[in-house]
Amino acid sequence: MGEMGLVLGIDVSTTATKAVLVDGSGAVRGIGTAEYGYDTPRALWSEQDPGLWWAGSVEAIGRALVAAGVAGEAVEAVGLTGQMHGAVLLDTAGEVLRPAILWNDQRTAVECDEMRALVGPERLIEITGNDAITGFTAPKLLWIRRHEAATWARLAHVLLPKDYLRLRLTGEYAIDVADGSGTILFELAARTWSSEVLEVLGLDPAWFPPTFEGPEVTGALTAKAAAATGLRAGTPVVAGGGDQSANGVGVGAVDEGIVALSLGTSGVIFAATHAPIHEARGRVHAFCHAVPGRWHLMSVMLSAAGSLRWFRDTLAPGEGFGELVEPAANVAAATDGLFFLPYLTGERSPHPDPLARGAFVGLTVQHDRRHLTRAVLEGVAFGLRDGLDLMLAAGMPRPAQIRASGGGLASDVWRQILADVLDAELVTTSTTEGAAFGAAVLAATGAGWYRDVPSAAAALVRTSHAASPGAARSAYATAHAAYRELYPALTPTFHRGQPSDGARG
């Protein structure tokens, strides 16, 4: 390995594109961000103009180069990541046919039922590792076929968001296996498109691009793209990965025993596995990892730090999170029978139920705001533990360490609660750039800096201790058992009188 320059990771998210320049020591040398919006033309719909991703990338790359004080020639390779599960539809000339339908679009409940009926519910999970849910790509295609005949007649290429950016950068149609498996059109074990699922659903295999492992080079920057971005023509672009697998690489969750926890508005537990295992009912997701020869399990709860934000905005508007949370440290762990169910926007793991609702259970006149705050922190931790338990039951090894990231980790109180409830050591990483940093690590591997992704992650990712399980873990184990009884007991109340549109999937 000779002298290294810089690698570039680009993250095409729902609300912004971020470009991160990383050097050979793992230091972030420059960051550029360009923000944009998305459209909700009808209730439950979520769409975005793919042109925003290209314009945002050009702007973000330029800002990152300026921040680093370097020219584009210093960049040796580019890695891509971004929002998963979107549907980008192109004609034979590669022109966009309609706005992309995004991961958070909820219009396809009927199509999810159609997929289960056509493939068979058990067979679908057996092949793809997942149940059909409204966020995934496959049911979006069935919706287009049912509702937009003119678009369907012109369809020639299906891409995911970051892969549309790849097309604009390199002129090549390609997809990585991690993002591809999130379409639920993949044969999980084979790490490529499932001929059986495509045939049963009536989808043309020619629409779907060739598949590549995360660090593999998929093309090189064209002269036109180089002129627009300031990068060097011929710069290799690696396959990359969907945002969750790239984030896993970015925090070093690339092998069994190391689990990633993302505590943002939603909460994600992500674990690499050596084999393509899945949960029998599809209550946690099973995808290919961006690391060759690795897969991953992932549980997703919809309102993690979002629950604390709701609580603050509702009961203590304008107050800092520190002011709200620190007094909860004086409340004993798992006491008083007070519980909070964090299902404020429905739930995904372990209860795939959009009609689930939040609740405080066990309130008495002895409780004040401190107790309510602690119940929220504990309730989110219990919800995350539910997902972790499903992953363990599916065959994932018990984690020796959890690599944690996200705004919620700023709280000492919450870090300790999480370590106690999840019964594992928590560490944090030196960079908060997540998926974009992971895309840069994949680019570093593709550039030949390291022999493989685990070696690159070991060299570039730095960690620091956050919290270890303490004396409260036994009390939390008992309290979690009680917490798990609440959702089944309250489900009839949650569902009574609720609208059914979009409820399944």
Annotated catalytic residues are 243
Task: Report the distance separating Cα 8 and Cα 470, nearest Å.
Answer: 40
Q: Which DSSP category does 447 fall into?
A: T
Task: Report the distance separating Cα 6 and Cα 24, nearest Å.
Answer: 7
Q: Nearest Cα to 378, choosing from 286, 476, 309, 306?
A: 476
User: Could you tell me how many residues make up the chain?
Assistant: 505
Q: What angle do CA 304, 309, 312 make, to 5 degrees?
A: 135
Task: Report the distance separating Cα 434 and Cα 243, nearest Å.
Answer: 8
Q: Which DSSP category does 329 fall into?
A: G
Q: Which DSSP category does 326 fall into?
A: G
Q: Are 186 and 288 in contact (CB under 8 A)?
A: yes
Task: Report the distance separating Cα 162 and Cα 233, nearest Å.
Answer: 19
Which stretches of 102-227 are assigned E, i.e. beta strand? 157-159, 175-176, 186-187, 192-193, 211-212, 217-220
| Cα-Cα-Cα-Cα dihedral sign, residues 296, 299, 304, 306 | positive
In what order do the strands lie in the sheet containing 425-429? 285-288, 295-301, 267-273, 258-263, 401-405, 425-429, 463-467
Q: Are 185 and 240 in contact (CB under 8 A)?
A: no
